[in-house]
Amino acid sequence: MDTFWKIVVTFGVLGLFVLVVAFVAAFFMSGMDVSGVNLGAGGKVAVVPVYGTITLGGCPGNLLQVQSCAQVDNLKKLLREADNDPSVKAIVLDVYSGGGNVVASRELMREVKKTKKPVVAWISEVGASGAYYVASAADEVVADENSLTGSIGVIMFVQHYYELFDDIGINVTVIKAGQTKDIGSPYRPMTDSERENLKGIVDGTYERFVEDVAENREMTIEEVREVANGDIYLGSTAYELGLVDELGGMEEAIDLAARLGGIKGRPEVKKPERKISLSDILT
């Protein structure tokens, strides 16, 4: 029995040692570039990844892995660095996102528009809603023919629990100053005037979305409104509707950006440093 427990303790100590080493390695290697840059001689094309939910806040996660999200401040920093780097001649937005918060998406869209160097947006698997909002501000939009894009629209969810609370005997007392201070409350039915108020907010946001896309894509508001019904389109359909300029993959997007940036020969692809996580080391 003593031998058994000695073995158990030994393996336990070894396992703890491996975890400690992994944490230390993750700490010291957190700035290591693992992006795999392709070298060329004609100039640089900077790739800026727009992955996950577009947000002004941070990304939730756990010990081993951080959930993917497109943090606007980080992306603005990458765009400005590329714009101010004399060796970078053009930028590719690598879009893989289903959208995000309204203000965050519009803020990132504005930053793309302010960029002085040519910007090409490449939509891979999905670039919808707020992500398409951002992509529309690029000089050219390239999409895989099987990608999902579009979904131009605005949505708001209001959840109600009052019937469930009645069934299980829970009472919520709301004390407020201001008649509509608890608008959207889940503890009571919504009034008609409150519904109209919230609908007005959604409609106003939608109109700005349509106007911005029309301006970015050099389309009329009527043309955008015809396709801005919330539908999601394949890249091939989006191309036919004028929401996308070309169909192709990342290589085609990089080549197009290089041409727009006046790069002669094969461009060097500059990708941002990706910090190594504990999950990278363990797997």
Residue positions annotated with a catalytic role: 129, 181
DSSP structure class, residue 242: T
According to DSSP, the residues that pair with 122 across neighbouring strands are 94, 142
Crossing angle of the two packed helices 102-114 and 192-217, in degrees rounded to 10: 20
Cα-only R_g, the chain: 24
Give the phi and the psi of residue 132 in degrees, each rounded to 5: -70, -35
Helix extents (H) in 69-172? 72-84, 102-114, 130-135, 162-168
CB 127 within 8 A of CB 95: yes
Summarize the chain as % helix, strand, coil (round to 5).
45, 20, 40
Please state, in angstroms and rounded to a whole number, the distance separating the CA atoms of residues 207 and 200.
Answer: 10
Distance separating the N- and C-terminal Cα atoms of the chain: 34
> Could you identify the residue written with the tokens 């004609």?
42
CA–CA separation, 280 and 6 (whole Å) = 31
Distance CA 204, CA 76 (A): 26
Q: What is the dihedral of CA 90, 95, 100, 105, to 10 degrees?
A: 20
